[in-house]
C-alpha cells in the first residue's frame, strides 16, 4: 500500500503542475505587460521589480512566472495567406522544380517556428503558403520569397579595388546563366545591366561555387578581437562532392581575395588565409536577425525557381472562434457522458477511471503547451479521439477484473490479475495505432497535408500518455479507493460493478 501512496503523491503533484500549465493565471501576464510599459513613477504602484518581473508581494523578490501560450492554427487564430508566382516562364522549369521549390519554402517556414503552416503547389507555376499567427508578416514573406543566391566569386588580382566593390552589386557567370532562362516582362529592364562587371576584363566575375555546395550553415557570435566587440557571422560546411572544387580553388588563391556574394551584393571579400576544403565563415557586419535569417536561407537552399508575391491576404479568426466554441462544447458534453457512464456502470472502478481521465486531459493539454503543439480543428479531433482510447483501456482492465472475481479469485488477486492480463492488450492496441500515426505524420510532411500531421501528433501524444494513465494512474486510484472502502466492497461486490 505504501508504494501506491507514493505513486498517489507523485500523481497529485503532477496533476497540480499540469493544471497550472493548462490554466495559467492571466492576470499575471496582464500585469507583466503593464510593468513592461510602465514609467518609473508607475513601477512602484504596479509592484514591479527592476528586471520587470512581477513582485506581487512587494518584497523586492520577483516571482517565477512561466509564460506559456497555446499555439493555434490558421483555421483557429487567423494569419497570413500568401500566393507566390514563379518569376520565370512556365515552360522553362519542370513540375519537379516547382515541387522542390515548395519543399524549400516549407523548410524555411518551419525554421521560422511557424508550425502547421501549409505549403502547396497550385497549377503549373504557383505556390500557396498559409502562415498561422504570424507576428511579422513582412519578415516572413521576405524570408520565404528570398532566393538567397549565395556565390563564392573569384576576386583574384583585385586587391587594390576590393574595398570599392564591397556593398556593390556585381554580375557573375552564375547570374548570367540564370538570367538566360528567365523571360523578361514587357518593358522590364535587364537587371544585370545595372550591375558592375570585372573592372579589368569587363566580363562577368567568375562564380567558383554557389550555395548549392553548402552542407550546413549557422549563425554564431565571434569572440571579441582587439578593441572591437563580437560580431555575428555564419559558419558554413561544404558538401563532400564540392570539397575538391572549393578546396582546390582556395588552395591556389592563398593571399588573394574571394568575394562572398548574396543576391548579387558583395557581402565581404576576405583574403584567403589557408585552404578551405570543408568550410569556413561568412562575415559582413550582420545584426543578429540578419545573421539568423541568412543562415536559415542558406540551410534551406536557394529556391530553384525565383518567386514573386502575387497576392497576400490576412485571414481572420471569426470562423475559428466559432469552431473552437463548438468543438469545446462537443468535447465537454462527450467527456461528461463518458464520466457518467463509467461511474454508473463500473461504480467504484468507474470513479477511479474518471479521476484518471481528468488527469489524462490536463496532462495532454500541458504537453500541448510545453512542446508546443499547434492546435487546428483536425488536431483537436485527434485529442478527442485519444480520450476515447483512454477510456477503452480502463474498460479492458475492469472487465478483466470482473471475470477474475466471477472465477472465484480474492479481491486483491483479481485486481492484480486484471491489470497484468489487460496490459498486453492495451499496449498492443495503442502501439498499433501509434504506428499508424507515424505513417500519417510522414505523409503529412508533404506540402499541403500538414493538417494530417497535426491530427497524427495529438492522437499519438494521447496514446502514449494513455499507457501511463490507463495503467499507473488508474491502478493507483483504484488501489487507494479499495483500501479506503475494503469493508463495504467485501460485503457487496456490486460496488465493483461485478
Residue 115 has pLDDT above 60, yes or no: no
Residue 404 has pLDDT above 80, yes or no: yes
pLDDT of residue 181: 63
The x, y and z cell numbers of residue 148, run together, are 538567397
Residue 35 has pLDDT above 50, yes or no: no
Q: For the chain, how far is it from start to end, CA to CA, in angstroms?
A: 23
What's the average model confidence in pLDDT over 152-160?
86
β-strands 79-86, 118-122 pairing: unpaired
Confidence band for 356, pLDDT divided at 50, 70 and 90: very high
Most confident region among 16-30, 130-144, 293-307, 461-475 by mean pLDDT: 461-475
What's the average model confidence in pLDDT over 273-289?
83
pLDDT of residue 183: 61
Query: Which tens digit of pLDDT belongs to each residue from 319-341?
Result: 556 767 787 788 889 889 999 99
Superfamily of domain 318-496: Multidrug efflux transporter AcrB transmembrane domain (1.20.1640.10)
pLDDT of residue 52: 35
pLDDT of residue 42: 38
Architecture of domain 150-302 in this structure: 2-Layer Sandwich (3.30)
Query: Which tens digit of pLDDT belongs to each residue from 89-107?
Result: 778 788 888 887 887 787 6
CATH number of 79-145: 3.30.70.3400
Most confident region among 32-36, 83-87, 398-402, 445-449 by mean pLDDT: 398-402
- Cα angle 439, 443, 447; round to 5: 160
Instruction: Encode the chain in three state secondary structure.
Output: CHHHHHHHHHHHHHHHHHHHHHCCCHHHHHHHHHHHHCCHHHHHHHCECCCCCECCCCCCCCCCCCCCCCCECHHHHCEEEEEEEECCCHHHCCHHHHHHHHHHHHHHHHHCCCCCCEEEEECCCEEEEEEECCCCHHHHHHHHHCCCCEEEEECCCCCCCHHHHCCCEECEHHHHHHHHCCCCCCCCCCHHHHCECCCCCCCCECEEEEHHHEEEEEEEECCCECCECCCEEEEEEECHHHHHHHHHHHHHCCCCEEEEEECCEEEECCECCCCCCCEEEEEEEECHHHHHHHHHHHHHCCCCCCEEEEEEEEECCHHHHHHHHHHHHHHHHHHHHHHHHHHHHHCHHHHHHHHHHHHHHHHHHHHHHHCCCCECHHHHHHHHHHHHHHHHHHHHHHHHHHHHHHCCCCHHHHHHHHHHHHHHHHHHHHHHHHHHHHHHHHHCCCCCCHHHHHHHHHHHHHHHHHHHHHHHHHHHHHHHHHHHCHHHHHHCHHHHCC
pLDDT of residue 39: 40
More confident residue, 44 or 412: 412
Domain map (residue ranges) of the chain: 25-67, 79-145, 150-302, 318-496
Residue 158 has pLDDT above 60, yes or no: yes
Query: Which tens digit of pLDDT belongs to each residue from 203-249?
Result: 999 999 988 788 888 888 887 766 667 888 888 899 899 999 999 99
Give the whole-number percent of the chain exceeding pLDDT 70. Answer: 78
Average pLDDT across the chain, whole number: 79
pLDDT of residue 153: 94
Amino acid at each position: 500500500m505504501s508504494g501506491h501512496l507514493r505513486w498517489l503523491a507523485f500523481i497529485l503533484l503532477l496533476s497540480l503542475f499540469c493544471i497550472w500549465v493548462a490554466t495559467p493565471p492571466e492576470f499575471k501576464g496582464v500585469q507583466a505587460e503593464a510593468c513592461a510599459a510602465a514609467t518609473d513613477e508607475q513601477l512602484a504602484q504596479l509592484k514591479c521589480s527592476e528586471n520587470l518581473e512581477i513582485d506581487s508581494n512587494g518584497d523586492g523578490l520577483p516571482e517565477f512566472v512561466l509564460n506559456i501560450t497555446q499555439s493555434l492554427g490558421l483555421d483557429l487564430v487567423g494569419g497570413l495567406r500568401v500566393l507566390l508566382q514563379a518569376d520565370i516562364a512556365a515552360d522553362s522549369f519542370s513540375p519537379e522544380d516547382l515541387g522542390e521549390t515548395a519543399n524549400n519554402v516549407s523548410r524555411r517556414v518551419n525554421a521560422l517556428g511557424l508550425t502547421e503552416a501549409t505549403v502547396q503547389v497550385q497549377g503549373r507555376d504557383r505556390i500557396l503558403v498559409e502562415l498561422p499567427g504570424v507576428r511579422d508578416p513582412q519578415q516572413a514573406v521576405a524570408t520565404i520569397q528570398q532566393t538567397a543566391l549565395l556565390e563564392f566569386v573569384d576576386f583574384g588580382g583585385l586587391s587594390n579595388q576590393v574595398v570599392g566593390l564591397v556593398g556593390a552589386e556585381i554580375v557573375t557567370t552564375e547570374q548570367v546563366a540564370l538570367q538566360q532562362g528567365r523571360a523578361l516582362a514587357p518593358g522590364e529592364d535587364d537587371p544585370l545591366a545595372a550591375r558592375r562587371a570585372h573592372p579589368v576584363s569587363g566580363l562577368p566575375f567568375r562564380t567558383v561555387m554557389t550555395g548549392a555546395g553548402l552542407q550546413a550553415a549557422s549563425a554564431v557570435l565571434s569572440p571579441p578581437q582587439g578593441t572591437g566587440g563580437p560580431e555575428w557571422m555564419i559558419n558554413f560546411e561544404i558538401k563532400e562532392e564540392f570539397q575538391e572544387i572549393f578546396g582546390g580553388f582556395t588552395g591556389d588563391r592563398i593571399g588573394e581575395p574571394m568575394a562572398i556574394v548574396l543576391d548579387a551584393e558583395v557581402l565581404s571579400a576576405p583574403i584567403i588565409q589557408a585552404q578551405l576544403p570543408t568550410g569556413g565563415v561568412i562575415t559582413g557586419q550582420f545584426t543578429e536577425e540578419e545573421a539568423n535569417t541568412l543562415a536559415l536561407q542558406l540551410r534551406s537552399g536557394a529556391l530553384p525557381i525565383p518567386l514573386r508575391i502575387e497576392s497576400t491576404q490576412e485571414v481572420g479568426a471569426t470562423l475559428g472562434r466559432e469552431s473552437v466554441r463548438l468543438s469545446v462544447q462537443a468535447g465537454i458534453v462527450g467527456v461528461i457522458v463518458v464520466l457518467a457512464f463509467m461511474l454508473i456502470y463500473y461504480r467504484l472502478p468507474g470513479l477511479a477511471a474518471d479521476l484518471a481521465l481528468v488527469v489524462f486531459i490536463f496532462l495532454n493539454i500541458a504537453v500541448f503547451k510545453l512542446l508546443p503543439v499547434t492546435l487546428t480543428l483536425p488536431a483537436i479531433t485527434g485529442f478527442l479521439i485519444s480520450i476515447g482510447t483512454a477510456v477503452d483501456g480502463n474498460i479492458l482492465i475492469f472487465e478483466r477484473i470482473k471475470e477474475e472475481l466471477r472465477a472465484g479469485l480474492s479481491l486483491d488477486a483479481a485486481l492484480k490479475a486484471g491489470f497484468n492480463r489487460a496490459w498486453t492488450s492495451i499496449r498492443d492496441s495503442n502501439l498499433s495505432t501509434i504506428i499508424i500515426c507515424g505513417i500519417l505524420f510522414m505523409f503529412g510532411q508533404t506540402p499541403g497535408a500538414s493538417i494530417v500531421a497535426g491530427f497524427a501528433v495529438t492522437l499519438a501524444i494521447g496514446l502514449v500518455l494513455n499507457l501511463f494513465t490507463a495503467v499507473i494512474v488508474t491502478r493507483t486510484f483504484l488501489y487507494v479507493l479499495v483500501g479506503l472502502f475494503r469493508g463495504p466492497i467485501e460485503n457487496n461486490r456490486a460496488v465493483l460493478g461485478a
